[in-house]
Chain A
Amino acid sequence: MNIETRREQFQPPSMLGNILRKLHIDIPLFIGLLLTSLLSIAILYSTGSQETAILIRQAARIGLAFLLMIVLAHIDPYQFKRYSALLFGLGIILLVAVLIMGQIGKGAQRWLELGFFRFQPSEMIKITTPMMIAWYLADQPLPPKAKQLLTAAILILVPTFLIAKQPDLGTALLVASSGAGVLFFAGLSWRFILGIIAALASVTPVIWHFMRGYQRDRVLTLLDPESDPLGRGYHIIQSKIAIGSGGIYGKGWLGSTQSELDFLPESSTDFIFAVFAEEFGLFGSLGLLGLYLLIIGRCLYIATQAQDTYSRLLASSLAFTFFVYVFVNIGMVIGILPVVGIPLPLISYGGTSIVTLLAGFGILMSIHTHRKFLPI
């Protein structure tokens, strides 16, 4: 008698429950993601660009991303583990290809032209890096020893460096933190973590040396937004005005007055939180943060319920990276972090990040719904 039939004997199957189980969908996570995506369309509508074309495009992307999520949820996590190294290697090759092509074509290049759409290898690497590190650590005794740490550090730094070179600082940061997340959850010792922080602080001048002019500008304008009031500082000043003027209750949906001043070419992308906070106020902002925390909490819960090391390392790292997304984006919009190009997850306009994010949640759902012994 196999597990499936045994479970059915214990649990009287409800119709809906059955269908959902067949779909491999995790309901709380699904609802959280759906709500956030709907919010995205509502806010995009309000950012002044009430062009239906943009809304339709965004809706289509969200639909596609959900589809991909469900497809991935159907794949057994064992398969993800099996192909981790292969996918990671492929991603690195594509990154190198993009870099070489970029050098030929002069200037920044982040995507490969695949006929009808553009593929960004850096998006793929956001997921394959934690997969790779989790795969590598899964069969090692944990917590990781110095040797494993060194290998893992190299595996993380290679894609990070390749992406930073594109140059795409925001994505590089996300890739690095997704890999570092795996190490953290694998039990990297606290002493080591503190050591890393100290080391990072000491190499800051070196990093500064290698930064591009505009990246330096971004850091400088964070420290002193008034220094470039026409450029980056302008965004910070204006987004603070927008958020602050929203007050506790906000100005209501479509009530944003600051977004239509010519203040943000990025009001629908990286700075969309400013519009949100202006229209929905502190309550709205807290609500959105709450929604994000629910999603993150559910992901961490899934990680604790996962049944093998690979799954739980990957799941917890994906949850952690999602939080980094939220924290860095909102942090930069409210002016406590540098302006690096990271979108507000699931809300900002722009296709690739939504697809990657939901692919990650698809993997999480796969991990959760393919457990061999369901709690009864």
Chain B
Amino acid sequence: MSRIYSVKDNSGENRLFLNRVVAAFIAITLLTSGLIVRLVYLQIVGHEHYSSLAKDNSIKIVPLVPTRGIIYDRHGKILAENLPSYSLELTPEKVPDLDGTLSRLQKLLDIPDEKIELYQKLRKRQKWFTSTPLLLNMNNEELAKFAVAMPFFPGVDIQTRLIRHYPYSDLASHVIGYVGRINEAELKDLPIAEYRGSTHIGKLGIEGSYETQLHGKTGYAEIETNVQARLLNTINEKVPDPGANLYLTLDIDLQKTAYDALGTFNGAVVAIEIKTGGVLVFASRPGFDPNPFVVGIANDVFQALQLSENQPLYNRALRGLYPPGSTIKPFIALAGLEYDAISPEHNILCPGYYQIPGVSHQYRDWKKGGHGSVNLNKAITESCDVYFYRLASTLGIDHIHSFLQKLGFGEKTGIDLIGEKAGLLPSREWKRSRKNQAWYPGETLITGIGQGYLQISPLQLARATATLANRGSVVTPFLVNKIATARNTLPGPEIHQQTIPLKPANVNTVIEAMINVVHSPRGTAKGINTNISYQIAGKTGTAQVLGIKQNAKYNENEIDFKFRDHALFIAFAPADDPKIAVAVVVENGGHGGSVAAPIAGQVIKQYLQDNDEHRNP
């Protein structure tokens, strides 16, 4: 401070500062007096008024929790509902001898020790005069036993609560999701006023994605209570708005067919109604029973689910990523036609392998010895790899990337479910930025048969199939068809219509070949063409889990089950007027034609039969 000492008027500054301190002190005293006046007003003048509110007859404001909306399938079958459940609850402050009461209850109702311990833990966390559940979900026998003995248990009550119930258990657990207790992390992001009184929140699937609509709006009641917290009088009430009921596009019977058809395999089935984009089947196997999650799943059960090798908690249809294998071929063929890289009649010779000129590596066909002379129709019908190696090589990765991107690969489909994965559609740029490597020609070849970096979800595959069947009108899948509140009914998510310009002749060529896959005697999925009155257009696929060495042989029976190929199948029907598109992925299923195709066949059959019945009863 000595630097500019000369321009500073020290004694003047001192005086100024002291003045300010005095002024501050006066201001502080005045403001504090303001607080004191208010305190006097509250604690002396208002004392009687507030005491009466606080003491004998206190006014409490209690939240009135809205009933959660019900979830229905497309035919009105209940997928998620609210059932009354009885729980035994104790208010520790009202129980004269807590330990004694607990041990008497234990004897009366045969309560295991853990539950008593859990109750003791819960009780300590609760605020005073809050009733805390000891037994949840009481059965009739327990209810009857306690009802008789109730007068001997002051402070112990039976409480009725509505708990969420999923009647179809594991059948559609991933898509419906479940509700669970609100955890601390969720509490921070929730609108507190809306969730006062709510204990549960949608965690996954539709329950999570449509939480706001399903929850409804919380109401409240101002009630007058006495010392025992008994209700004396309701002064004012704002009733809650119940949550909206959701009507899904899902067909639970069709879902069951698909889920059962997967049998003991792990895998996923997605079926889409082509005209609307409504998802009919969204199955992921294995599923899990969501009901224990509602009441609080036991830790060891949850651990077992999480650690299970089959990953039952994983929504394969939405988040499972697989190489599409040969199911990508119709799309590559269409790209070839659209970019004029091939003409449908042009024949090439398939000797059973393909070589990039000047490179010794042989890219093998699945059929040893080759398919002979192959045109586009035969290449799809018999799933000739060599034809597509060559086509991919002609097209180049840039064209393949841009065409597949239009069909929605490598991007989220925008379905109204949280947690979707985008998959991976490789490109030169992707490889340079991610791996810092140039793109190799060989990688284009294997992309052409759906191997390599390409990763798709069953939902994306079903969507692309539906878009193909829809002749380029992009199908955007969605699950919620109607949102019905007490006041109005709103449609589900807004769909933006988009169209990929495709030449009709090219689409016809590809569809004809896909019909041959099912209906020609040489088709790879000919097994499913019996006893049907309509035509199915399909394509099989087999995705390698294990890399096979050059010159080595893949023998299904010798390989460990979990390294067996994934079986895939895509299809739509009827081929002349497409209504339903299906994608099936069977993990370690082996061959698309023998394992995956029949599942799609069953789903299509049932859907078309049902819809005929509905039309002409």
Contacts and interface: CB of A to CB of B under 8 A. Distances in A.
21 contacts: A139-B1, A139-B3, A143-B16, A184-B20, A185-B17, A187-B20, A230-B61, A241-B54, A242-B50, A244-B50, A244-B54, A245-B50, A246-B43, A247-B51, A260-B128, A261-B127, A281-B43, A282-B40, A304-B21, A327-B31, A334-B39
Interface in B30-50: 31-32, 34-36, 38-40, 42-44, 46-47, 49-50
Contacts of B36: 286, 289
Which of A241, A309, A323: most chain B CB closer than 10 A? A241
Contacts of A247: 43-44, 47, 51
Interface stretch (A20-28, A82-90, A292-300): A292-300
A138 B192 CA distance: 47
Size band of the A side of the interface? 35 or more
Nearest to B236: A229
B1 A245 contact: no
Contact of B193 (A230, A242, A244, A308): A230
A243 B50 contact: yes
- Closest 3 A-B residue pairs measured CB to CB? A244-B50, A260-B128, A231-B193
Nearest to A260: B128
Nearest to A245: B54
A240 interface: yes
A282 B21 CA distance: 29
Given A230-B196, A244-B46, A244-B49, 15 more contacts: A140-B4, A230-B61, A241-B50, A241-B53, A245-B55, A247-B51, A248-B43, A260-B127, A262-B127, A293-B29, A316-B17, A320-B24, A323-B31, A327-B35, A334-B42
Contact of A309 (B1, B43, B61, B196): B1
A185 B20 contact: yes
B60 interface: yes
Contact of B35 (A308, A310, A330): A330
Contacts of A282: 39-40, 43-44
Interface stretch (B7-15, B136-144, B173-181, B251-259): B7-15
Interface string B115-130: 0000000001001111
Nearest to A81: B1
B63 A230 contact: yes
Interface in A101-150: 107, 138-143
A248 B54 CA distance: 15
B218 interface: yes
Interface string B137-165: 00000000000000000000000000000
A8 interface: no
Contacts of A300: 21, 24-25
A40 interface: no
Interface string A215-236: 0000000000000111110100
Contacts of A243: 39, 42-43, 50
A220 B512 CA distance: 67
Interface of B: 1, 3-4, 7-9, 13, 16-18, 20-21, 24-25, 28-29, 31-32, 34-36, 38-40, 42-44, 46-47, 49-51, 53-55, 58, 60-61, 63, 124, 127-130, 189, 192-193, 196, 218, 220, 222
B20 A316 contact: yes
A262 B17 CA distance: 48
A4 interface: no
A312 interface: yes
B53 A261 contact: no
Contacts of A246: 43, 47
A308 B1 contact: yes
B54 A139 contact: no
Nearest to B10: A309
Which of B47, B130, B192, B222 has the largest count of A CB atoms less than 10 A from its CB? Answer: B47
Contacts of A304: 17-18, 21
Nearest to B129: A260
Contacts of A248: 43-44, 47
Nearest to B130: A262
Nearest to A243: B42
The listed residue with most A CB atoms (<10 A of its CB), out of B8, B38, B43, B63, is B43
Contacts of B127: 48, 260-262
A138 B32 contact: no
Interface in A255-289: 257-258, 260-262, 277, 281-282, 285-286, 289
Interface string A186-198: 1100000000000
B43 A285 contact: yes
Contacts of A234: 61
A139 B4 contact: yes
Contacts of A142: 8, 13, 16
A303 B47 contact: no
Given A247-B44, A247-B51, A260-B128, A141 B32 contact: no
B50 A141 contact: no
Nearest to A297: B25
A163 to B, nearest CB: 19
B235 to A, nearest CB: 11
Given A141-B9, A289-B35, A300-B21, A258 B54 contact: yes
Nearest to B6: A141
A51 B282 CA distance: 48
A184 B13 contact: no
Contacts of A285: 39, 43
B61 A240 contact: no
B49 A230 contact: no
A244 B25 contact: no
A63 interface: no
A323 B16 CA distance: 21
B437 to A, nearest CB: 28
Nearest to A217: B193
Interface in A298-351: 300, 303-304, 308-310, 312, 316, 319-320, 323, 327, 330-331, 334-336
Contact of B50 (A240, A281, A320, A327): A240
A245 B218 CA distance: 29
A130 B286 CA distance: 62
Nearest to A250: B43
A295 B25 CA distance: 12
Contacts of B7: 141
Contacts of B220: 229-230
A334 B39 CA distance: 7
A316 B14 CA distance: 13
B192 A231 contact: yes
A242 to B, nearest CB: 7
Contacts of B35: 289, 327, 330-331, 334, 336
A141 B394 CA distance: 80
A51 B121 CA distance: 12
Contacts of A51: 124
Contacts of B9: 141
Contacts of A309: 1, 13
B50 A187 contact: no
A306 B3 CA distance: 19
A319 B31 CA distance: 15
Residue from B39, B47, B218 with most neighbouring chain A CB atoms (10 Å): B39
Nearest to A264: B127
A316 B21 contact: yes
Contacts of B55: 245, 257
A124 to B, nearest CB: 23
Contact of A261 (B17, B20, B44, B60): B60
A2 B25 CA distance: 37
B24 A316 contact: yes
